[in-house]
A and B are shown apart, each in its own frame.
Chain A
Amino acid sequence: MRMLEVPLQIFRYKAGEQPHYDMFTVQVEETAHVIDAIDKAWAIHDHSLTFRRACHHSSCGSCALRINGVEKLPCITLITNVWDGHSPLRLDPLRNFPIVSDLVVDVSGFFQRLLAANMTITRDAESTLPLTVDELADVVPSEAVELPDNLSRFNRFENCIECGICMSACPTMATDDKFLGPAGLAAIYRACQKTDDPDEKAHLLALAGGEHGAWRCHSAFECMEACPQAVDAAGKIMALRREITANRFKRIRRR
C-alpha cells in the first residue's frame, strides 16, 4: 500500500484569537479519505484541532466542510480525488454559519429551520426498543432535551443528512440572516407532501411564501451542485413557488 505525504492547510480559530491557517503534513495510505488525514493531524500534531466526525460513510452529515473552497463531505472524499500531489490541501469550515472553533460551526440555526418546517427525526422506527416513544420522553430529563408534545407528527426527512453543505454553498444564505435556505425550504416541501392537514399545509406554504422564503432564491443552483445526497433543494424551492402560486389562484377563485 503506497503512502502519501499530504500537506494540509487547516483554518484555525479560537475565541478571542485571530483566524489563521496552520500547516500539517500527515502520512496516510493512498486509499485514505480526507477525514483520515484530519484525524491524523489531530492525533499526531495538534490535539487542539477541533472538527466533527462520526459515521465515516455520509449518513450522519457531521463532518461537512470545505476542501479547497468547495463544500464536501471529507468522509467520502478520497484524498487522491482532490489533491494534486504537491500543493497544500486547504480545509475551511462551512460558510454562512458562525464559527465555534477551527472547523466546527454552530449549526443550531439549521435545526431551527427544520423545526419550523415540522421536520425532525422520528422514533417510530425504533419499535424494538424496550421503551415506547412517550416513555422515552419521560425518562429523558427535561433539561437535556426538549421534546414537543405531539411526537407522532415527526417525520424523517428522506435523503437529507442535515450536513449543512447546501446552506454553506447558497449565496442568498450569505446575505440574509433569516433566509430559510435550501435545507429549510426543502424540508417545508417535504412536510407539505406528507401532511393531510390543510391548515398545516397552508401554514407551511405561508412560511415558504414569506419574506425570507422561496422568493429570495436567486437560482444560483449551488445547493443542487453541492448536495452529497441529491436532495435537489433547488427543485424543491421551485416546486414550492409553483405550489404557492397555484394555491393563491385556488383561493382567489374560492372568494
Chain B
Amino acid sequence: MEKPLVQETMENPFAKEPKASWGWLLQVVTGVALLALLGLHFIANHFIAKGGLRDFADVVSYLRNPIILVLEVLFLVVVTTHAMLGVRAIVMDFGLSDRAEKRLSQVLAVIGVLTVGYCLWLTWVIIH
C-alpha cells in the first residue's frame, strides 16, 4: 500500500541535515531573550538619558562604554535573527518546495549577516 507520508529511514541523531524544529526553537529562544534585551535597550536609551533621547555627544559616550557596547551588539544580533526567522515563517506559508525553503533560509541568513555587519561598521564609525 502506498504510504507517501511515511519516512523510510529512522531519525538519525548524527545526521547532517538540520532538524525541522531549528527555526521554531531558535525563534522561541531569541524571542524570550529579546524580552530582556529589548527591555534593557529601552531603559538604557529612554529612561536613563535626559529627556528620553540622546544627542550626538551623548550617543558617542554611551557607545564607548564597553558594557553598553556588548549589550547593544548582543541585542542587534538577537533581534536580527528573530526578524529573519519571522520573515522565513511567513514566506514558508506560501507553499514552497523543500529546495526553495533551503534557498530562502540561505538568503535570509545573508541579509541578516549584512544587516549586523552594517550596524557594526556604523557603531565603529560613531565611536571613532
Contact = CB atoms under 8 A, between A and B. Distances in A.
A and B touch in the complex (CB under 8 A): yes
Q: Chain B contact residues: over half helix, strand or loop, or mixed?
A: loop
B10 A206 contact: yes
A207 B6 contact: yes
Interface string A201-213: 0110111011111
B20 A248 contact: no
A209 B5 contact: no
B74 to A, nearest CB: 25
Contact of A248 (B6, B13, B101): B13
A211 B20 contact: yes
Contacts of B24: 215
A252 interface: yes
B95 interface: yes
Contacts of B19: 209, 248
B7 interface: yes
Give the interface residue-count category, chain B.
20 to 34
B55 interface: no
Contact of B93 (A115, A116, A172): A172
Given A175-B94, A210-B20, A113 B11 contact: no
Given A113-B5, A205-B11, A207-B6, A215 B93 contact: no
A203 B93 contact: no
Interface of B: 1, 3-7, 10-11, 13, 19-21, 23-25, 89, 93-95, 98, 101
11 contacts: A112-B3, A176-B93, A180-B5, A199-B10, A206-B7, A206-B11, A207-B5, A211-B20, A215-B23, A248-B19, A255-B13
